């Protein structure tokens, strides 16, 4: 489960209501658009691409009359009201998530690199499948050509929504590692654009085989990447090993008796443990040992766990240097780690190290 899942849903709603409002002229649909934008922003800040796509369409279609519509401005007000809780939370917490997604991301930009761009292209091709990836980009390029040749507002509308995503992240990829899921919004609209173009006489032949082939190759690729009997050996296989880890943690807790809390180094490990453990208990992350842990920093209340015993899990992919020494600074006693080697198919994925830690001392009492 990612924030992208609700984002995609509300993005589709915004695309639909935006189409009704701009192409079909139904001004009441602006309120559906505004609500969808607001909930999309609650899901993930990537929803800004909605405003980019709609703004680009208004600019390229000379649709300035939209700006004189009271319904349009009320729709933006509605989006702002829905998004307001996030603004209030940020104001109360030193603008934490806004800064994380803006100045911190900008600070992580590196030098111009063809290596990063190459990784970006290869991972996108593999995850989407070569056929569907090519079909999406072909639809985008053909959509631009069609927009220049004739005044097709539907093609212009869809192309305008694809352009900020495809162009923006491609440029960023020369300076930063673009994650696998960042372009999903663009692929979604580009696929719709490809289907629309397939029904136009002058470009119809371009997309029939590609769209059918994309379904077949995507199925094979998903099996190869993620279905465990066939899965490829790669460190990015984030699906393997969690159930086995939970069984190991549960076994270690039962062998030692008493009540044990569970923590994981890095938020991904802690979150997976919270999901797979029976009854989905509260888990703890880096804040437990005085290190930054993103959302876990705001959830952590050390008064609830002073004196408690922990099974603290470290994933080899997120190495904690001198783990025993670090943990001993926060617990009365730390035993030698038990380990679990995770394999996928025949390939090695990672190793989990599980440290039994006794009597948590807290952040202020660790020395």
d(CA 170, CA 183): 9
How far is 289 from 40, CA to CA, in rounded Å?
34
Q: How many CA atoms lie within 13 A of 356 on its CB side?
A: 16
pLDDT tens-digit series, residues 222-265: 676 666 555 555 555 677 789 999 999 999 999 998 899 999 99
Q: Determine the pLDDT at residue 42.
A: 95
Spell out where 161-315 has E strands: 260-264, 309-315
**Residue 354 and residue 311 in contact, taking contact as beta carbons nearer than 8 Å:** yes
Whose tokens are 């004196």? That residue is 307
- Residue tagged 């995850």 (tokens): 127
Give me the sign of the Cα torsion angle 80, 84, 90, 96: negative
C-alpha dihedral (340, 342, 343, 344), degrees to nearest 10:
150
Best CA proximity match to 247, nearest among 354, 336, 349 = 354
pLDDT of residue 236: 59
Please, what are the domains in the chain?
1-108 (no CATH), 110-226 (no CATH), 242-360 (3.40.190)
The C-alpha angle 250, 255, 256, rounded to 5 degrees, equals 100
Answer yes or no: are the C-beta atoms of 242 and 283 closer than 8 Å: no
In this structure, are residues 50 and 11 in contact, taking their beta carbons and an 8 Å threshold? yes
**Nearest CA among 42, 31, 43, 37 for reference residue 7:** 43
- For the chain, residues with pLDDT lower than 50 are 365-367
- CB neighbour list of residue 266: distance below 8 Å, 6 or more residues apart: 285, 286, 293, 315, 318
Give me the pLDDT at residue 125, please: 85
Contacts for 51 with CB less than 8 Å, ≥ 6 apart: 37
């Amino acid at each position: 489960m990612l924030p992208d899942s609700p984002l995609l849903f509300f993005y589709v709603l915004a695309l639909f209501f935006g189409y009704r409002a701009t192409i079909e002229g139904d001004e009441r649909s602006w309120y559906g658009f505004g609500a969808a934008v607001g909930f999309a922003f609650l899901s993930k800040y990537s929803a800004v691409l909605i405003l980019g796509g709609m703004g680009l369409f208004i600019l390229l279609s000379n649709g300035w009359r939209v700006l004189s519509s009271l319904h349009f401005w009320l729709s933006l007000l509605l989006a702002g009201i829905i998004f307001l809780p996030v603004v209030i939370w940020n104001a109360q917490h030193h603008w934490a998530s806004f800064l994380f997604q803006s100045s911190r991301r900008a600070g992580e930009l590196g030098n111009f690199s063809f290596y990063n761009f190459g990784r970006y292209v290869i991972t996108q091709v593999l995850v989407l499948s070569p056929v569907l990836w090519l079909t999406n980009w072909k639809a985008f390029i053909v959509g631009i050509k069609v927009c220049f040749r004739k005044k097709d507002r539907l093609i212009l509308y869809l192309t305008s929504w694809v352009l900020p995503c495809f162009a923006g992240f491609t440029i960023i990829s020369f300076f930063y590692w673009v994650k696998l899921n960042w372009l999903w919004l663009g692929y979604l609209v580009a696929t719709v654009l490809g289907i629309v173009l397939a029904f136009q006489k002058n470009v119809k032949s371009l997309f029939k085989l590609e769209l059918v082939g994309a379904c077949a190759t995507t199925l094979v690729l998903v099996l190869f990447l993620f279905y465990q009997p066939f899965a490829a050996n790669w460190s990015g296989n984030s699906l393997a090993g969690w159930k086995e880890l939970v069984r190991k943690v549960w076994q270690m807790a039962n062998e030692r008796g008493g009540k044990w809390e569970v923590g994981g180094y890095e938020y991904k490990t802690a979150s997976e443990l919270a999901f797979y453990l029976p009854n989905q208990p509260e888990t703890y992350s880096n804040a437990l040992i005085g290190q930054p842990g993103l959302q876990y920093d705001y959830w952590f209340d050390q008064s609830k766990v002073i004196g408690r015993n922990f099974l603290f899990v470290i994933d080899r992919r997120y190495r904690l240097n001198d783990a025993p020494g670090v943990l001993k600074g926060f617990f009365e006693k730390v035993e030698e780690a038990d380990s679990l080697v995770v394999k996928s198919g025949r390939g090695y994925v990672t190793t989990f190290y599980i440290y039994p830690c006794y009597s948590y001392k807290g952040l202020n009492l660790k020395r």
